[in-house]
Amino acid sequence: MTKRMPAEWEKQKAVLLSFPHENSDWNDNINSALSVFIKIAQAIAYKESVYIVCDDVKKIKDLFCSTNNMSFIELPTNDTWTRDYGVITIEEDGKTKYLDFTFDGWGGKFEAKLDNVVSRALQQKGYFGTTPFETIDFVFEGGSIESDGAGTILTTSECLCNPNRNGGLSKKEVENKLKEHLGAKRFLWLDYGYLSGDDTDSHIDTLARFVNFDTIVYVKCDDKNDEHHEALSAMEAQLKEFRTVECKPYKLVALPMTRAIYKDGVRLPATYANFLITNHALIYPTYDDKADKIVGNIFKELFPNLEIIPINCLRLIEQGGSLHCSTMQIGV
């Protein structure tokens, strides 16, 4: 039996979103939070299906001028970060399969019992059709890994080997699990990488991302006085040591840091690495920062055949995540 985890840039069936509600951490200003999710849903739905999990279908549906390509699904949730509790798509003997791992709120930091059963509820309601579906008793989050679609997994030891995930596994033990379930063949482990205010224990999708088989974009900090400089410089040095399957250095493309953004005196984990690739677009977060346009131009060069869509995500990072964290692609 052969298994493979497709890359994000491969063909997608839909993207999953879970909208904020008044019984979540977004209730301090629910309308401002909803406005960002509406923009994300609209950007995707232009040419791709969107599954919108929400607490009240009529209420959320009425917020849209057009609901073309949108399916609204009423389910209870704790929060909005579908990247980490949505299904992970793999291919098994060339056929699509959906994997439902255990989500425990990033090592038990937050309540997650409702989020942990969202994928099973979607499967029971028929949104995954007849595609094989497997629930796996292993704590694992979609934002913790990057796949190049050809067997290479990029990840961080801070997250996957953390004692708050599965009791703390060695790299070898983690690799064996990901070989078993994802068909992974080789691993690129980042041992450095840090963002202030990050609750995920250094998810890879906030730090470094594959954009094709031989290119990685990553967050770079040039300011020696910035608290991130040391860790991100060490991460950059490690990225330079990585090699492709052909034993060649990866093409590395640096993404700038935003200015320091704070809420209640705490610096927030704003990062341009938290972008989403869909069938027709590259949708990336902006932060009312001078680097917003610089990053947009970088993405235009990297993805000349995709529409490049910026969405202001200042409201999202107030809760510790950004655009990629709030979405999960579902493979065809």
* Nearest to 262, CA basis, from 237, 218, 210, 227: 227
What's the domain range around 316?
3-331
User: What is the tally of structural domains in the chain?
Assistant: 1
* E runs forming strands in the chain: 3-4, 12-18, 49-54, 70-74, 88-92, 95-102, 133-139, 145-147, 152-156, 186-190, 208-212, 215-220, 251-256, 262-263, 266-267, 276-277, 281-286, 307-312, 328-331
* Whole-number Cα distances in Å, 39 to 15, 49, 65, 154, 194: 14, 14, 12, 29, 28
What pLDDT shows up at residue 29?
96
CA–CA dist 114, 75 (Å, integer): 9
Three-state DSSP class for 325?
Answer: helix
What pLDDT shows up at residue 251?
98
What pLDDT shows up at residue 20?
98
Average pLDDT per block of 10 residues along the chain, 332 residues long: 97 98 96 98 98 98 98 98 98 98 98 98 98 98 98 98 98 98 98 97 98 98 98 98 98 98 97 98 98 98 98 98 98 97
The number of beta carbons lying within 10 Å of the beta carbon of residue 157 is: 17
What pLDDT shows up at residue 66?
97
What pLDDT shows up at residue 242?
98
What pLDDT shows up at residue 321?
98
CATH number at residue 140: 3.75.10.10
Q: Could you tell me if 239 and 250 are in contact, meaning their C-beta atoms sit under 8 angstroms apart? A: yes
In tens, the pLDDT along 303-327 reads 999 999 999 999 999 999 999 999 9
